[in-house]
A and B are shown apart, each in its own frame.
Chain A
């Protein structure tokens, strides 16, 4: 118990870690807010610079950027009607009308407080459930990991866009990229096209920087000359009465955020959509209608997207599966530092878990401080013209990619992935599922083959195990339900239920 407290407070008492967390949170707010920059892009580029760092330093900075970045998107959503991050899309629905009514300051203040409440709620649930879940995960067989990873990929593909087929294509493409290189069991080259340089595989950070950095930079060229509308900002700190009034909705939205965030592959963007929908259904008579500046429409998504941060850490720290694209990068940081994300993390290196929990709370404290101050400087910084920002993003991508292995070939690959990602993005494919495919693909391959080996390569026995083992049966049933939910069978079933009612 004393050890737990010691680990929890590590970032709070070490000035160096305190500074890194503060810098990360402040930087994250700006990165999340500046349209064209994203948290995933920042963390992807940053991971390559922190290879040589102490793991605590690297995690402190990344946690700060993550927490700050998820919140930062709301600032530009409210002030400019341009969500700085996907998780702030719903914030703009009511945030921008509030700003147009002259209540930009109040909207920013309330979104800050609600984001902190969501962030802390998410962290408390992470601290409460992760140790228990990790204990349970120790009992998982390879086939269960296989099923969880398959479920994760299915959820990514079904929840992350308008077209299921495009989602499935994206995750399969990502998984194929993840498999390029030498097979770990037989040392056979796979998908290398006879190229010796690909035997070592494609570093997933190269793919990430290409897809999230370069592709985004090219995509932003379409909005090069978009001029934002300035808003007047005052009265930032919200009255306590107002906060208390929205607290019940905030708590409900926070729980939605944690649950959605914890599903492999779903993050703050989907959590905020679900929470906004919940607010619309549950708040019967808002003072102002939703979409025209309802505070409820601001509270729900802002609490949920920050609560999803804590949720996203749950599968990452307990199962070694990323909750979203950012935690996918953080998994990479842990692996690079010789750690083992998954149930063994709690046993082998419990300090990393409690350090992360303490760091998340600390980052939320800094979020409250930075969120309620410095708005005037902020409004100037986010007006950085894209004409300056976009070439700089490319330079940062080059530096970030080269620093992984000091290899120019990887820089060319990065540009190639960036251009490919641009075209995918143009035609409605999302980048997040591809990255999660890169991470989860090799995991599915390994666990599937382990599971097959454990049943003597018998396909029949493998299928039998899926329905005779209680946990495997539950997971298989969920996968079948998710699949059925995407077919006409769902509409038929709903129709039948309605007729019976």
Chain B
């Protein structure tokens, strides 16, 4: 039998539950302004309304999963979890995420130019499978362009 129902992506249900949780948190935060039932014209009325809308939308999204199905190859929750990791936690995505966070932290310690040069050089070398010299040259040229463009032309403050 041909099943044309929309497929649920690995991890989608968990994410949608997290959104519901987030919306609940927002309702709690909104209720701290003027209570859970604020008067019609108060600072808390709109935030509470928005949080309720988000909760309802999240519930509808969760309910819509009834009309979707898993990929036939993913029979168990464990399979789905493995597929989720394989899709979103590929080495090049993890490396970029980790180095992005490290780069932002390093800006305060090493200065913007040094940390940017190191970040770009490492990323270029990693993604281009080596090519050390050309990666260093491209990183150096990029830093020079950033300096000329943002410091001399746009005259903005750099970190």
Contact = CB atoms under 8 A, between A and B. Distances in A.
Contact of B41 (A163, A386, A441, A453): A453
Interface residues of A, number: 59
A48 interface: yes
A175 B52 CA distance: 13
A49 B150 contact: yes
Interface in A106-134: none
A218 B93 CA distance: 7
A445 interface: yes
Contact of A165 (B40, B57, B123, B156): B57
Interface in A358-394: 385-388, 390-392, 394
Which 5 pairs, one residue from A and one from B, show the smallest C-beta to C-beta distance? A387-B127, A452-B41, A169-B57, A403-B156, A391-B123
Interface string A142-175: 0000000000000000000001011011001101
A408 B105 CA distance: 9
A449 interface: yes
Interface stretch (A35-43, A181-189, A247-255, A285-293): A181-189
A493 interface: no
Nearest to B52: A172
A183 B158 contact: no
Contacts of A411: 104, 107, 159
A392 B123 CA distance: 10
A392 B142 contact: yes
Given A221-B96, A415-B100, A168 B53 contact: yes
Interface string A403-443: 10010100110010001000100110000000000000100
Given A398-B107, A411-B159, A172 B61 contact: no
B54 A176 contact: yes
A459 B50 CA distance: 18
A399 B123 contact: no
A218 B96 contact: yes
Contacts of B150: 49, 399, 403
A406 B155 CA distance: 13
A179 interface: yes
Contacts of A402: 157-159
Nearest to B105: A412
Interface in B10-51: 11-12, 15-16, 19, 26, 29-30, 33, 39-41, 43-44, 46-47, 50-51
A478 interface: no
B53 to A, nearest CB: 4
Contacts of B11: 427
Contact of B50 (A166, A172, A189, A392): A172
Given A48-B156, A218-B97, A186 B124 contact: no
Contact of A176 (B19, B51, B61, B92): B51
Contacts of B108: 408
Contacts of B107: 398, 408, 411
B156 A395 contact: no
A445 B48 CA distance: 12
A278 interface: no
A188 B100 contact: no
A190 B43 contact: yes
A193 interface: yes
A448 interface: yes
B53 A172 contact: yes
14 contacts: A163-B61, A168-B57, A176-B54, A188-B33, A218-B93, A385-B128, A388-B138, A390-B96, A391-B124, A403-B157, A408-B108, A411-B159, A427-B16, A441-B46
A188 B43 contact: yes
Interface of B: 9, 11-12, 15-16, 19, 26, 29-30, 33, 39-41, 43-44, 46-47, 50-51, 53-54, 57-58, 60-61, 64, 88, 90, 92-93, 96-97, 100-101, 103-104, 107-108, 116, 119-120, 123-124, 127-128, 138, 142, 146, 150, 154-159
Given A166-B57, A176-B26, A191-B30, A427 B12 contact: yes
Contacts of A135: none
Contacts of B158: 399, 402-403
Nearest to B63: A165
Given A191-B33, A222-B93, A423-B15, 17 more contacts: A163-B61, A172-B50, A190-B44, A218-B93, A221-B93, A385-B127, A385-B128, A388-B138, A398-B107, A398-B116, A399-B146, A408-B104, A408-B159, A411-B159, A441-B46, A459-B40, A462-B40
B37 to A, nearest CB: 13
Contact of A179 (B50, B90, B154): B50
B28 to A, nearest CB: 10
Contacts of B157: 402-403, 406
B60 to A, nearest CB: 4
Nearest to B156: A403
A426 B50 contact: no
B22 to A, nearest CB: 9
Of A165, A179, A415, A441, most buried by chain B (CB within 10 Å of CB) is A165
A219 B9 CA distance: 15
Contacts of A459: 40
Given A193-B29, A392-B120, A169 B47 contact: no
Contacts of B15: 423, 426-427
B30 to A, nearest CB: 7
A492 to B, nearest CB: 20
A141 to B, nearest CB: 15
A40 to B, nearest CB: 19
B92 A224 contact: yes
